[in-house]
Amino acid sequence: MTDLLLLPGDGIGPEVTAQVRRVAQALTPDLKLDERPFGGVSYDAHGVPLTDEALATAKAARAVLMGAVGGPQWAGAPRDKRPEAGLLNLRAGMKVFANLRPALCFGPLAEASSLKRELVEGLDIMIVRELTGGIYFGEPRFIEDLPGGGKRAVDTQVYTTAEIERVARVAFELARGRRNKVHSAEKSNVMDSGLLWREVVTDLHRREYADVQLEHILADNAAMQIVKAPKQFDVLLTDNLFGDILSDAAAQLTGSLGMLPSAALGVAGTPGLYEPIHGSAPDIAGQGVANPLAAILSFEMALRWSLDRAAEADRLFAAVEAALAGGARTRDLGGALTTVQMGDAVLAAL
Ligand code: NAD
With bands split at pLDDT 50, 70 and 90, how would you rate the model's confidence at 109? confident
Mean pLDDT of the chain: 95
Amino acid at 68: A
What's 141-181 look like in SS3? Answer: CEEEECCCCCEEEECCCCCCHHHHHHHHHHHHHHHHCCCCE
Please state the rounded mean pLDDT for residues 277-300.
97
The region, left, alpha or beta by phi > 0 then psi within -120 to 50, assigned to residue 186 is: beta
Hey, what domains does the chain have and what are their CATH numbers?
1-97+267-350 (3.40.718.10), 103-265 (3.40.718.10)
8-65 per-position pLDDT tens digit: 999 999 999 999 999 999 999 999 999 999 999 999 999 999 999 999 999 999 999 9
Local structure of 19: helix, strand or coil = helix
Please state, for a pLDDT cut of 90, what percent of the chain lies above it: 89
- Greatest extent of the chain over all pairs of C-alpha atoms, in Å: 68
Tell me which residue of 52, 31, 50 sits closest to 42, measured CA to CA. 50
Contacts of 119 (CB under 8 A, 6+ apart): 113, 229, 230, 231, 253
Tell me which residue of 176, 110, 28, 21 sits closest to 321, measured CA to CA. 110
Give the distance, in angstroms, between the CA of residue 5 and the centroid of all CA atoms in the same chain.
17
Question: 162 with 187: CB under 8 angstroms?
Answer: no
pLDDT score of 252: 82
CA of 243 to the centre of ligand 1 (A): 18
CA of 278 to the centre of ligand 1 (A): 5
pLDDT score of 253: 85
For residues 220 and 189, what is the distance between their CA atoms, to the nearest angstrom?
A: 11
296-348 per-position pLDDT tens digit: 999 999 999 999 999 999 999 999 999 999 999 999 998 999 999 999 999 99
For atom 6 of ligand 1, the residue with the nearest CA is: 281
- For residue 275, give the ligand 1 atom closest to its CA: 41
Task: Determine which helix (DSSP H) or strand (DSSP E) holds 200, and give its type and residue range.
Answer: helix 192-208
Residue 248 has pLDDT above 90, yes or no: no
Local structure of 217: helix, strand or coil = strand
DSSP count for the chain of H helices, then E strands: 12, 12
For atom 42 of ligand 1, the residue with the nearest CA is: 279
Instruction: Tell me the sheet residues that pair with 35.
Output: 6
Mutate to test the pocket of ligand 1, among 109, 278, 284, 293 (most ligand atoms within 8 A of CB): 278
Sheet with strand 98-104: strands edge to edge: 33-35, 4-9, 63-68, 272-274, 263-265, 98-104, 124-130, 235-238, 181-186, 213-218
Local structure of 93: helix, strand or coil = helix
Phi and psi at residue 104, in whole multiples of 5°?
A: -120, 135
Q: Which residues line ligand 1 (CB under 6 A)?
A: 12, 16, 68-71, 84, 87, 257-258, 275, 278-284, 290-291, 294, 332
For atom 11 of ligand 1, the residue with the nearest CA is: 281
Tell me which residue of 269, 303, 253 sits closest to 124, measured CA to CA. 253
Contacts of 17 (CB under 8 A, 6+ apart): 6, 7, 8, 9, 65, 67, 295
- For residue 332, give the ligand 1 atom closest to its CA: 20
Residue 268 has pLDDT above 90, yes or no: no
With bands split at pLDDT 50, 70 and 90, how would you rate the model's confidence at 145? very high
CA of 331 to the centre of ligand 1 (A): 15
111-140 per-position pLDDT tens digit: 878 889 899 988 999 999 999 999 998 999
Contacts of 115 (CB under 8 A, 6+ apart): 227, 230, 253
For residues 350 and 339, what is the distance between their CA atoms, to the nearest angstrom?
A: 17
List the catalytic residues.
136, 187, 220, 244, 248
For residues 226 and 162, what is the distance between their CA atoms, to the nearest angstrom?
A: 28
- For residue 74, give the ligand 1 atom closest to its CA: 32
Separation of first and last alpha carbons in the chain: 27
Mutate to test the pocket of ligand 1, among 131, 257, 262 (most ligand atoms within 8 A of CB): 257
Amino acid at 298: S
- For residue 283, give the ligand 1 atom closest to its CA: 11
Where is pLDDT greater, at 334 or 273?
273
With bands split at pLDDT 50, 70 and 90, how would you rate the model's confidence at 260? very high
Give the pTM.
0.91
Task: Determine which helix (DSSP H) or strand (DSSP E) holds 95, and give its type and residue range.
Answer: none
- For residue 284, give the ligand 1 atom closest to its CA: 11
CA of 258 to the centre of ligand 1 (A): 9
Burial state string for 73-110 with b = 16 or more CB within 10 A and e = fewer than 16: ebeebeeebbbbbbbbebbebbebbbbbbbbbbbebbb
CA of 280 to the centre of ligand 1 (A): 5
